[in-house]
Amino acid sequence: MSEKIAKLKLTVSQNLTWVCLMLLLFALSLRFPSDPDMGWHLRNGQDLLNNFSLIFAGDQYSWSMAGYPWVPHEWLTDITMAVINNQFGLIGLVVLFSVLMTFLFYFAAGIFKTNKITQAIIAILTLSVSYNIIGVRPQMITILGVVIILYLLFKTRNDNPKLIKWLPIIMLLWANLHGGFGIAFVIIATFVFAEFIRKILMAKAKYKKGVGKILSFAQMKMIGLYTGLGFLATLINPSGWKVYLEIYQTFSDRNILNSISEWLGVTLYHQASYNLVILTLIILLLLFINKWKVDITKLILVIIMFYFSLSAWRHVPIFAIVATPLIAEQFSYAIKDGVLAISKQFWMPLVVLIMAVFVGFNYYTSSKDGLVNEEAYAAKARLPYGAIEYIRENNLGDKLLNEYNWGGYLVWKYPEEKVFIDGRMAIWKWNGIEIFEESRKLLRVKDQMLVTEGLEEWGIDHILTFSNGAINSALWGVENWELKYQDNIATVWALKYLP
């Protein structure tokens, strides 16, 4: 009897450890909603709720490129975000995306079957690598899509080939939720290529004891068929084939890729990359400990996605997700029993719970005011709340020049006036105008004559810029421009109408 009680206590301790690990994973996924594009997503979602036909109407939010036939590829996510925000506010959005991230990182860690405690630990590890990208933003849908694609591919190979038939439906939904769906085809092609390599290697005697099952040619054909159907399914969206045109424009515009922070290439000496370096070293260490006993397909996927992640910060979470099944495999070979042994200790749930409470409490104290108060939200996110209130109360004109990073917030919180540019417009080129480059010329050039000529050419009558923006120094002393408002975040200039 006493032995049964002891076993029961061990089981309870392990289950409590798992629960506390999941609480820690959720706490780590909490992010303050400061994505510059969140505002226009919420506005677009609300407008589509009110009048869905606007999805075909072209740009409604800018005066500089009014009517531009933009591709609202995240329309379904925008509507969902607007509904949640209407019912529960920013707190609801934070909880929704945190639950989503908790689920997808944990689910990814379970693609390679292991115990749930190891699964939770790996999810925490890989989520930590992605901390500077994850948050309240539609891109999380693409990370979820990557998890689902990996799950379908490995299940098709290992024990359930019929699951691949869901691929067209997944791609149909993905293409209407976020524009990152193209990564699915990269992952599928890499997976099939890697399996083909394994087939070649398995023909050699020294590789016959390879890790895991291998994809048959019949399964490859099936994956190819449903991938083709998945491609056709992505064309069922409000913009049709133009979603691919936007993908091409985004990845081919070096000016944009070199100017927007999350599209910049990863630099390994940057502090934000330390976790990426640590995760890579952990993978290499596990492979060394296990004497390179590895599923080659998982390894090839990781290598390709590591290279892909180095091209832009926003791709780092994709690498983390793709690496998760490999890490789970290597953990299982190397230290699974050690993890289970530690989790049996009666003090382990308490230690993890303390960590979860600390992380959660730290988030609560730093974010609670900003989630319920507009002014506090703007202050924490470094957004021009005071400047917008000043512009709203004073009629400064109808041709506003604004910072790119503030466009989404203006579309959301200052709908009375159209913007010059916002986060949708980085790749827009129309009638010979590259609007992103135009905004940079106007706001970043310090030459007084060039700035004033540009402002006059566009007919701009008021400006909202950073408190330390370059245009401020150019406008000092210009007779027909007047400083109207300034705080530690924003500056407002207005055109004088001289007699």
d(CA 108, CA 328) in angstroms, rounded, equals 9
**39 domain residue, yes or no:** no
Q: Looking at residue 339, what is its pLDDT? A: 67
356 and 390 co-located in one domain:
no
φ and ψ of 491, to 5 deg: -130, 140
**353 domain residue, yes or no:** yes
355 and 401 co-located in one domain:
no
Q: Looking at residue 118, what is its pLDDT? A: 87
d(CA 92, CA 326) in angstroms, rounded, equals 33
φ and ψ of 458, to 5 deg: -85, -10
| Residue range of the domain that includes 345 | 2-30+71-362
347 and 406 co-located in one domain:
no
How far are the Cα atoms of 37, 129, 468 from residue 318, in angstroms, in the given order? 20, 10, 35
Q: What is the dihedral of CA 349, 352, 357, 359, to 10 degrees?
A: -170
Quick one: how far is CA 215 from the chain centroid? 31
306 and 399 co-located in one domain:
no
Q: Looking at residue 8, what is its pLDDT? A: 44
Q: Looking at residue 312, what is its pLDDT? A: 83
**44 domain residue, yes or no:** no
427 and 282 co-located in one domain:
no
394 and 316 co-located in one domain:
no
239 and 147 co-located in one domain:
yes
Q: Looking at residue 460, what is its pLDDT? A: 95
* Tens-binned pLDDT, residue by residue, of the chain (499 aa): 444 444 444 577 788 889 999 999 999 999 999 999 999 999 999 999 999 999 999 999 999 999 999 999 999 999 999 999 999 999 999 999 999 999 999 999 999 888 888 899 999 999 988 888 899 999 999 999 999 999 999 999 988 888 999 999 999 999 999 999 999 999 999 999 999 888 887 766 455 555 667 888 889 999 999 999 999 999 999 999 999 998 888 888 877 777 777 877 887 777 777 888 888 898 999 899 888 888 899 999 999 999 988 888 888 899 999 999 999 988 888 776 666 667 677 778 888 999 999 999 999 999 999 999 999 999 999 999 999 999 999 989 899 999 999 999 999 999 999 999 999 999 999 888 999 999 999 998 777 788 888 999 999 999 999 999 999 988 988 888 999 999 999 999 999 874 4
**58 domain residue, yes or no:** no
Any alpha helices (H) in 30-74, and if so which ranges? 38-50
- The closest alpha carbon to 227, from 182, 188, 255, 277, belongs to 188
What are the structure tokens assigned to 469, written together?
């923006």
**56 domain residue, yes or no:** no
418 and 317 co-located in one domain:
no
Which H or E run includes 434?
strand 433-434
The mean pLDDT of the chain is 89
- The closest alpha carbon to 489, from 401, 406, 421, belongs to 406
Which tens digits make up the pLDDT trace of 421-462? 999 999 999 888 999 999 999 998 777 788 888 999 999 999
Which tens digits make up the pLDDT trace of 381-394? 999 999 999 999 99
Split into its structural domains, the chain has a count of: 2
Q: Would you call 125 helix, strand, or coil by DSSP? A: helix
